[in-house]
Structure 1
Amino acid sequence: MKLLHIDSSVLGDDSVSRSLSAEIVAKLKALHPSIDIVYRDLASDVVDHLSIGHIAARYGAPVEEKGLLGDIAKGEEYLAELADADIIVIGAPMYNFSVSSQLKVWIDRIVVAGRTFKYSETGEVQTLLPAAKKIFIASTRGSAYASGSPYAAFEHHESYLKGVFAFLGLHDVTIVRAEGLAYGPDARSAAISQARGEISAISA
């Protein structure tokens, strides 16, 4: 069994999403002691945003841009890691109502027509990934955006991630959320405590 652990916060040791994603991985490791873990820190191990050079290379054009070959190779590693993983754990803080740009870059490298999905002749999306993957998302937010919140309409974070994975045929998604982290020390502590309780309840 293989687990892909991804962090995307730029806050380093001060990141709540990093702390929670690590706790999720520790819980899963306790449940599956022989699990093989691959770790990606998208904030420190940075790849470039997609460029015309990336797209041209994908369609067979010669690579002339300096450094592009190595960057493309890292994108291939992302694809291989995703395909091989039985479980994916993602630390995903909300930045300006959506995911971090670092996580978006990873998404742009793994949502690839002909590699992770394809369109049928009638326009139907068909996944090219094994569907039996479990995904755990450590979601952190400064404010509250859940249904019923006055800011719910600004939520393009968890819904975006769930949409991306559903598009790829991956529907087994568990979200561990800590929100309202910017509301003060008591609210922050309560949100983290609640998230840790959800992590402790993970059973598979």
Structure 2
Amino acid sequence: MLKWTLKMTNILRVESSIKPAGAVSRRLTDRIMDRVLAANPGATVVTRDLSAGVAAIDGAWLGAMFTPADARNDDQKATAAYADALLAEVKAADLLVIALPVYNFGVPSQLKSWIDQLARKGETFNYTETGPVGLLTGKRAIVAYTSDGTKIGSEIDFASGYVRHMLGFFGITDVQFAAADAMAFGPEAAIAKGESEVDALAA
């Protein structure tokens, strides 16, 4: 159980809703941040808002990643610099607060692209004789999960398990969820549930 009083010096807040305002996932991340900062008033917060989109990985991205830094052309340097900036934010963070609105039973495309940008052998994971090993250990993550018709953990929820798996693949195994799920069947109750789950994290 996460204790808000644990020292968290650097916090990365990742927003991924496509809504410019009024997203319930942002409402939950606001509530999480209020509690984290109340217990850690000197913490540094970096916000990465993915709503404008994230560059998708492609062949050019692979070329940039596998080209030695001193041999990259200008386009490859720009591609690598963008990926490095995203990675540096995660590496510096003690706590990640991630908004996960569910779209079509899965993660938002921009959140998937963010994860793809981070998935770099030798940086966030390595393969060993005994299997993959995550390199971003010692971090925590809280995920604000919201959905219209999907219950978290149900057979049609392809979002929460994916995010938990990828964070664990990177070495972040202390992952907790607060969910305002299945809002289509009662938004007020679902939001109240999500907010109570945020509050329960501090119990």
Gaps of 5+ in 1: none
Residue pair 2:118, 2:124 contacting (<8 A) in 1 also:
yes
After superposition, the CA RMSD in angstroms is 1.7
Residue matched to 1:169: 171
Q: Distance in 1 between matches of 2:113 and 2:72?
A: 23
SS at match of 1:49: coil
Which letter maps to 1:154? I
Equivalent of residue 132 in structure 2, options 115, 125, 137: 125
Q: Tell me the percent identity.
A: 31
Q: Distance in 2 between matches of 1:7 and 1:85?
A: 15
Q: Distance in 2 between matches of 1:169 and 1:128?
A: 5
For normalisation by structure 2, the TM-score amounts to 0.88
1:56 has 2:55 as partner: no
Q: Distance in 2 between matches of 1:95 and 1:134?
A: 24
How many residues in Structure 1 have an aligned counterpart in Structure 2? 192
SS at match of 2:45: strand
C-alpha offsets along residues 130-178 of structure 1, whole Å, 9 cap, x if unaligned? x22110000001113345xxxx322110011011111122111110000
Residue matched to 2:158: 156
Which letter maps to 2:138? A
Q: What is the correspondence of 1:1-204 to structure 2 with a 5 Å cutoff?
A: 1-44=9-52, 46-60=53-67, 62-63=72-73, 65=75, 69-120=77-128, 122=129, 124-129=131-136, 131-147=137-153, 152-183=154-185, 187-203=186-202
Which letter maps to 1:21? T
Residue pair 1:53, 1:63 contacting (<8 A) in 2 also:
no
Residue pair 2:65, 2:80 contacting (<8 A) in 1 also:
no
For normalisation by structure 1, the TM-score amounts to 0.88
Residue pair 1:27, 1:202 contacting (<8 A) in 2 also:
no
1:18 CA displacement: 1.2
